[in-house]
Structure 1
Amino acid sequence: MILYYLTGTLLLLWIHVLWSRRAFYKLIWKISGPLGYPIVGMAHRLMRREDILSAFKEEEQKFGQTFFSWLGPYPFLVVGDPQIAQDILTSPHCVNKSFIYSALDDGAGRGLFSLPNPKWNLHRRLLNPAFGHKVLLNLMPIFNQEVNKLIKTFEMLLTEEVDLTKVFQNFTLKIAAQTTMGDKIPSDGINNFSEGLLSCYKCVQDCMTQMCFSPWLHFKAFNYFWKNKDSYKEAKSQIRTYIRNLIKQKTMYEPELSENKRALDQNIFIHRALNLVQKGHFDWQNVEDECNVIVFGAFETTSNTLVYILMLLAMFPQYQDKVFDEVCSIYSSKDDNEVTYSDTQQMIYLDMVINETMRVMAPVPLVARQTEQEVRLSNGVIIPKGLQVAIDIFNMHRRTDIWGHEAHIFNPDNFLPSNLDGKHPYAFIPFTKGIRNCIGWRYALLSTKVTIARLILNYRFSTTFEYQNLHFVEDITIKLKETPLLRIHERNKNILKYEK
């Protein structure tokens, strides 16, 4: 009897959902896709994160590069077409992030990543100067100093195959703390302080990912059974304490700085945020949230990309040799090992390698928006208000009709000017594009180029793991089911002397 009433209640609920969402069913006649099962839609296909990208690819092959479906009671559009992606990402009615990102508000705070309009637009406009060209130039010494210490760490890793993930997470967290918060974390090896802070950031990030893909964890009734709730709460508390202490230090010692030092420090993100408090644009919660979000964003995707670049160069040594030759040609006329901004502008082939890495392994494989009003797409279809829209960057970057029949293979020549000619400008969007693109994309590329150039100059990388065995996982940022181990080989220190 209980089962009978429960089934009837669920059926009535589903009928109510269908009726209340009837406007979305008009899309079925214009954009096809898998409806899935009652109540769950196609959510059962997306329960395992390692299946999400492949599931979207299968549906795109069946229904086309843009298809319509349901995630539980929520209607959503999956977009793998560059023109439709441009329509969405440039529309003033698709600026807000999807509801699935609400978990990030809890873990990192309501900052640039998830703020809705018009607050997002205000914050973005006010914080843009923190990533301007002159600011990036002033960060070059920090990039070089930390790479010097990273090279010393690598000297201790020459004897066996290693997973470099944790090494680079530690490295990029230190850079993020210095360049955005002005915090000088001790950097000689892996120390207890940065190790503990890194563990907290990783715990919070992993838990936020779980909440994004398991929305029921937001409800206290389910949260009670969540085994990670205590560690998540503690890690989040420690990060917040760290951020608050940094803010407090900056407000206490700012008056004691010399005029030159104060002028230089104004370029740091935290000082920009504090100035906005003085001008009445921010409150203290805004400062704390934005600082927390920017540290998260500055270290996670960059550390992944660095690992993946070295991993792919190890798998394809012919491309690694070309990067080495290019870096050597630049260093042959230099008297020191520092990478300058003008040096990075000459690293054309390294640019191609970085871009190709982000093509086959998009740093953020899926991004999601929601429509605040009706939006007319360039194909004439009108999508209604309240629709969730997922841009399938990962599979769009691998479309054979855009990138050729070997689109799934790593090949930096894809970014030769002649091969880019005629491609849609939104066929490659590792940092997204349009209204809400990544605020720190220039920062990420510059720090990546400095790091890879210095490492390739000093070391050669190899692996026995084969490219075709990589299994990709949607984890907000792109992850691997199994991370290849790399072997690090020291290069001949006399090569540059001979070149000179």
Structure 2
Amino acid sequence: MSVLISMQSVILTAAILLLIASWRLYEKRRSFRNITSKLPTQYGLPFIGVTYKFFNLSKVYSTVSRGFDEIKSLTGCVWVATTPIIITVEPEVIEHVTSSSEFLNKARDLYAHFNNGVINGIIVNPVKKWKPGRKAISPFLSHNNLMSFFPLFNDNAKNVKQKLIAMAGRGEQDVYGVIKAYGLQLSILTIMGTKIDEGSENYKEVMNAFNILVHRTAQNSVYSSVGLGFLTLTPEYKKTLKYLRELVCDLIKKNPSLKAESDEYEDGKQALVNLAVKAMKQGLFTASDVEIESFTMIAASYETSAIVVYSALVLLAMHPEIQERAFEEVRSVFPHGITSVEYDDLKKFPYLDMVIAEALRVAPPIPYIGRQAINETELRPGITIPKEMQVIIPIFELHRRKELWGPEAARFNPENFLPENIAKRHPCAYMAFSKGPRNCIGVRYAEFTVHVLLITLLRSLKFSTTFKYDDIVFMPNVTLSYKVEPLLSIEVRA
């Protein structure tokens, strides 16, 4: 009898709690009717919202696309668990959100997975901390400092080329693995001022740790939206985070210039870690900030550049006529081979610029971004959103909307970036590295490394693949990734 009474008490308590939660959800939804009555809205399931649609990571992008088709609008509202979020691919709204001082904070829920004690820093810092942080490390990305890195960019490109030459004629190969390996080495060298030899046991451990981090962070980004982020905190993940924190601390200690109280290393180059330490001495950063900012830039720079180069090579391998045209342009500038690619050379490749821009459109390295209203503010005429409401911009979908890019928006076509075609589009129909003051801080670093590497590879190598363009399935990891990474065949050009 006592067991029965206990069970009845539990059921009654659960029913009461459910009724209270239901009432609160009803009241919350009613409080947002001034927005949801003016925007098409998807409510989804009670307490879950539309989140259940995104647990299959391989279908995230197609689900987002169908969502916009269903609401028949480029801007709408979706309920993610019990939180309403604006989602938009409307260029006018995007321009306002990315340029307004009222949207300088990052979207809380979209970037929750970065709060792991390793990656956050200027990526997710609130505006009051972000401004001094960005100012402190901006000299690393100044024009003069990036110019000083060109010998390193060229050395990296030559190393990748030689590695791929050794793989030529052996059938389809894992090109992405090579690009990532050398890209990580370059990032550690430019950001930390120290070198980890590619191929060493330590380097293999570092690469493995980064791969685990990227995979788990992607899972966490989905699960955290419904309060289930703890499911990704496996012993392996915790061990990886600990290892990466210790790695960065060790790299900081090994930086030779820090011992000399200098802000420079190797002929006047400024490593990011030196600038971060300088900011710590000025009271702008804590010791933890130095570690986090250094690691964040390593992860962001190598991962972004690597996926852009790989995507460009995959797309060129699938479109041989476009690859040949890009090769002919490179050969016209370097008829006798390449000793080095300098900054002034980059202005001589208008067609390759179009190819890279189109690769960034079809496969944007940062597939979605989000902003959060600092105060109550206007989203667009007639729609005012409350403080802290989040606005998500799915860049992957933005770049493929037929309303913006025409009926063949999904096709790889560099002519989308002919000057006359660019002039027809709203500037915010394309935003490979975000827009506005909180855009990707390392965009020029990425542009330079990508151009130098692609120019070097295309001059010496020809790529092909049996993988079909229509069979590509993209995945929403920290950066864009492939469900199956296409392997490429390599041929050495005469």
Q: TM-score, normalised by structure 1?
A: 0.91
What are the within-5 Å matches in structure 2 for residues 154-173 of structure 1?
154-158=164-168, 159-173=170-184
SS at match of 1:405: coil
Out of 41, 47, 56, the position equivalent to 2:49 is: 41
Whether 2:117 is the aligned partner of 1:113: answer no
Tell me what 1:481 maps to: 483
How far off is 1:359 after superposition?
Answer: 0.4
Out of 236, 242, 254, the position equivalent to 1:237 is: 242
Task: Decide whether aligned partners of structure 1 residues 262 and 174 sit closer, same or farther in structure 2, where only a CA change above 3 A counts.
Answer: closer
How far off is 1:93 after superposition?
Answer: 2.1
Out of 295, 300, 305, the position equivalent to 1:302 is: 305
Tell me what 1:60 maps to: 68
Contact 2:192 2:251 in 1 (8 A): yes
Contact 2:48 2:226 in 1 (8 A): no
Question: Counterpart amino acid of 1:310?
Answer: L
Contact 2:103 2:373 in 1 (8 A): yes
Tell me what 2:326 maps to: 323
How far off is 1:303 after superposition?
Answer: 1.1
- Larger mean CA deviation between 51-60 and 3-12 belongs to 3-12
Tell me what 1:437 maps to: 439
Tell me what 2:473 maps to: 471
Q: Supply the RMSD in Å over aligned alpha carbons.
A: 2.2
Q: TM-score, normalised by structure 2?
A: 0.92
Task: Decide whether aligned partners of structure 1 residues 484 and 52 sit closer, same or farther in structure 2, where only a CA change above 3 A counts.
Answer: same
Q: Determine the C-alpha separation between the residues in 1 that align with 2:66 and 2:209.
A: 37
Tell me what 1:255 maps to: 260
How far off is 1:24 after superposition?
Answer: 1.8
Q: Determine the C-alpha separation between the residues in 2 that align with 1:336 and 1:13.
A: 66
Which sections of structure 2, spanning at least 5 residues, go unmatched?
A: 1-7
State the identity as a percent: 29
How far off is 1:263 after superposition?
Answer: 6.2
Out of 249, 264, 281, the position equivalent to 1:278 is: 281
Contact 1:74 1:388 in 2 (8 A): no
SS at match of 1:421: helix
Task: Decide whether aligned partners of structure 1 residues 358 and 4 sit closer, same or farther in structure 2, where only a CA change above 3 A counts.
Answer: farther
SS at match of 2:84: strand
Whether 2:83 is the aligned partner of 1:83: answer no
What are the within-5 Å matches in structure 2 for residues 11-160 of structure 1?
11-20=19-28, 22-63=30-71, 64-100=73-109, 101-158=111-168, 159-160=170-171
- Larger mean CA deviation between 15-24 and 142-151 belongs to 15-24
Q: Determine the C-alpha separation between the residues in 2 that align with 1:322 and 1:290.
A: 40
Task: Decide whether aligned partners of structure 1 residues 217 and 378 sit closer, same or farther in structure 2, where only a CA change above 3 A counts.
Answer: closer
Tell me what 1:495 maps to: none
Tell me what 1:344 maps to: 346
How far off is 1:5 after superposition?
Answer: 4.7
Q: Determine the C-alpha separation between the residues in 2 that align with 1:256 and 1:69.
A: 52
- Deviation per CA, 1:66-97: give whole Å up to 9, x if none: 11110001111111111111111122222222
Contact 1:107 1:208 in 2 (8 A): no
Contact 1:397 1:428 in 2 (8 A): yes
Tell me what 1:446 maps to: 448
Contact 2:197 2:203 in 1 (8 A): yes
SS at match of 1:156: helix
How far off is 1:109 after superposition?
Answer: 3.9
The count of corresponding residues between Structure 1 and Structure 2 is: 483
Q: Determine the C-alpha separation between the residues in 2 that align with 1:5 and 1:35.
A: 27
Tell me what 1:423 maps to: 425
Task: Decide whether aligned partners of structure 1 residues 476 and 3 sit closer, same or farther in structure 2, where only a CA change above 3 A counts.
Answer: farther
SS at match of 2:123: coil
- Larger mean CA deviation between 11-20 and 429-438 belongs to 11-20
Out of 292, 296, 302, the position equivalent to 2:295 is: 292
Q: Determine the C-alpha separation between the residues in 1 that align with 2:63 and 2:172.
A: 33
What are the within-5 Å matches in structure 2 for residues 384-395 of structure 1?
384-395=386-397
Question: Counterpart amino acid of 2:442?
Answer: G
- Larger mean CA deviation between 241-250 and 57-66 belongs to 241-250
How far off is 1:25 after superposition?
Answer: 2.3
